[in-house]
Amino acid sequence: MASNPPVAVYDACVLYPFHLRNILIQCAFDGLVEARWTDDIHDEWMRNLAANTPGLSIDRLEATRDRMNGVLPEAVVADYRPLMHELTLPDPDDRHVLAAAIAAKASVIVTWNLKDFPARNLLAHGVTSKSPDDFLTDLHAAVNAA
């Protein structure tokens, strides 16, 4: 178990794929990272997954969300919305993710959409963005170095 795990906001795109979502949640459950997300992030991955997967009910996705929140109740970030209007990103629809990172005092946003979270927009807030591959590789290296 990491003694000082990073705080990471998981973007909707990394919660969308079943296997990646499970790996990222397991890392948090095992204490390797302090995962963070919001209701908006949940809504986004669930809405997109339901739209792209015929026969997958929203009820099943809501049950998954509820299990995620149940096993990691500290992961849910609230009170981030007031920060959104001050933020600038290439896609204004992603401001909620950066606002959540700021509110959660996260050091990293884990996302496949790195172009939507450029370093110049994150630096002043003490946040970086990483692909899930780089994030998990860095976690592995940190655990092995400990």
Q: Print the domain residue range for 56.
A: 7-145
Please determine, for residue 1, whether its predicted confidence score (pLDDT) is greater than 80. no
- Terminal-residue alpha carbon distance, the chain: 9
In a domain, 56, yes or no: yes
59 belongs to a structural domain: yes
In a domain, 16, yes or no: yes
Does 137 reside within a domain? yes
For residue 28, which of 106, 120, 125 has the smallest C-alpha distance? 106
Q: What is the pLDDT of residues 36-49, one digit of tens each?
A: 999 999 999 999 99
Which pLDDT tens digit goes with each residue over 18-32? 999 999 999 999 999
Q: Please, are residues 56 and 49 in contact by the beta-carbon 8 Å criterion?
A: yes
C-alpha–C-alpha distance, residues 31 and 139, integer Å = 11
CATH of the domain at 13: 3.40.50.1010
Express each pLDDT in 128-138 by its tens digit.
Answer: 999 999 999 99
In tens, the pLDDT along 63-118 reads 999 999 999 999 999 999 999 999 999 999 999 999 999 999 999 999 999 999 99
Asked whether residue 40 is assigned to any structural domain, the reply reads yes
Residue type, 142: A
Percent of the chain with pLDDT over 90: 95
Residue 1 inside a domain? The answer is: no
Determine, yes or no, domain membership for 2: no
Residue for token pair 């795990």: 5
CA distance 142 to 140: 5
CB 102 within 8 A of CB 86: no
Predicted structure pTM score? 0.95
pLDDT value of position 4 = 86
What gap in Å lies between CA 20 and CA 102, rounded to an integer? 24
Please count the structural domains in the chain.
1
Amino acid occupying residue 34? E
